[in-house]
Amino acid sequence: MKKTNTFLAILLLMMAACGEGNKQATEIITVDVSANYPEKELILQDIMDVEYVPLETTDEFITKGVVKAIGKEILLITNQGNDGDILVFDRKTGKGIRKINRKGQGGEEYSYPYYITLDEDKKEMFVADYATRKILVYDLSGNFKRSFKYTDTSYYNDLFDYDRDHLITYKNYPALQENDKACHILISKQDGSVAREIRTPFKELETPIVTKDEFIVSPEFHQTYPDHTDWLLVNTSSDTIYRYSADGSISPSVVRTPSIHAMETKVFLFPTVMADRYYFMRTMKKEVDFKTFKGFPSTDLVYDKQEKALFEYTLYNADYSNKQQVSLGLSFNGIVNHEIATCQSLEAASLIEAHEKGQLKGRLKEIAAGLDEESNAVIMLVKYRKK
């Protein structure tokens, strides 16, 4: 089976735990995480729509940063370090609009913008600050509006815009013995109060986090996934991934086998992207090599709803002539929404090299022709296909 490895962040002693809807996806999919599946090659553009946004490069807007939020009109980008900058780019043109920085220790400031959730209708952004366990709300010019604390002693993993009045997140706890209280919640955008707890059943606590001596080692994993107008909810202690619908109902969507509780070496299952025909997933084995500090080997799987079969897949970008692979991995930090399935940052140097070799096509070729070595990245947005 094709495997990938996740480079690990090693923390000493303590770590903060870190249109119409999708009505066609009513069948329950069963996935044997211990099985070998036949291979399938897929083309990204056959499944999804692709949009490229070349980020403007100026003296003020120089970044090799991370996409934090995607709206209909703007992108919010942070740098890879912790300088506190939030860069606002126009999504259509890629032009830099403004730079916001509210880093500090004051009541209206954040220590690090871990998650940023965008509400374009109200022209607000919600910045989740892990260190202070609170969410700060700013307008899109960076002016402070209000803030609210996380509930009780919990931390929030993943933070999404749910509806006009609420955010959805996963309430987690730093002390594992408290995690019987962990669950998905809807919280008020105004004051952070919990509007609803969304609990899914499980027998006993299971998590991908590995502990050994003084080390706690965690892969990146997420527990909340937008799926058109619905949401997929993951509890790593459960054998079932649940669908939470707009009407508030909960139903099983994916069931994994064998049970996570019956496995000696645990293998977890996470959804990644849910397209009309294809349901992309990834397994993750709870296994670490403490000599190299690599681990959590993973396998990319796809369920073909038309063939009603599971495959191990490789996905290619048709805008490259040299079969460039595209990752639909677990890393998105909440940027995806009901329009955007995932995104990828394409570095200027790699695009220039591919252009010089004649490996690019179409719009991507046009963009690469105007880049130089100092240019900012090109953001590739992978979008659900409009019906």
Tell me what the mean pLDDT of segment 356-369 comes to.
97
Mean pLDDT of the chain: 89
pLDDT tens readout for residues 79-108: 988 899 999 999 999 999 999 999 999 999
Span 143-163, mean pLDDT?
94
Question: What pLDDT, on a 0 to 100 scale, did the predictor assign at position 55?
Answer: 97
The residue-averaged pLDDT of 109-126 equals 95
Q: How confident is the model at residue 2 (pLDDT cuts 50, 70, 90)?
A: very low
Give the pLDDT confidence of 253-275 residue by residue, as tens digits.
999 999 999 999 999 999 999 99
* Residue 332: per-residue pLDDT: 55
The stretch 145-154 carries a mean pLDDT of: 94
% the chain with pLDDT above 70: 90
Q: What is the 3-state secondary structure (H, E, C) of the chain?
A: CCCEEEECEEEECCCCCCCCCCCCCCCCEEEECCCCCCEEEEEHHHHCEEEEEECCCCCCCCCCCEEEEECCCEEEEECCCCCCEEEEEECCCCCEEEEEECECCCCCCECCCCEEEEECCCCEEEEEECCCCEEEEEECCCCEEEEEECCCCCEEEEEEECCCCEEEEEEECCCHHHHHHCEEEEEECCCCCEEEEECCCCCCCCCCCEEECCEEEECCCCCEEEECCEEEECCCCCCEEEEECCCCCEEEEEEEECCHHHCCCCEEEEEEEECCCEEEEEEEECCEECCCCEEEEEEEEEEECCCCEEEEEEEEECCECCCEECCCCCCCCCCCCCCEEEEEEECHHHHHHHHHCCCECHHHHHHHHCCCCCCCCEEEEEECCCC
Section 356-366 average pLDDT: 97
Residue 14 confidence (pLDDT) above 90? no
Assign domain 4-11+21-383 to its CATH architecture.
Answer: 6 Propeller (2.120)
Quick one: what percent of the chain has pLDDT higher than 90?
A: 72
pLDDT tens-digit series, residues 268-315 = 999 999 999 999 999 999 999 988 888 999 999 999 999 999 999 999
Q: Residue 4 — very low, low, confident or very high, per pLDDT cuts 50/70/90?
A: very low
pLDDT at 24 exceeding the cut of 50: no
Domain ranges for the chain: 4-11+21-383
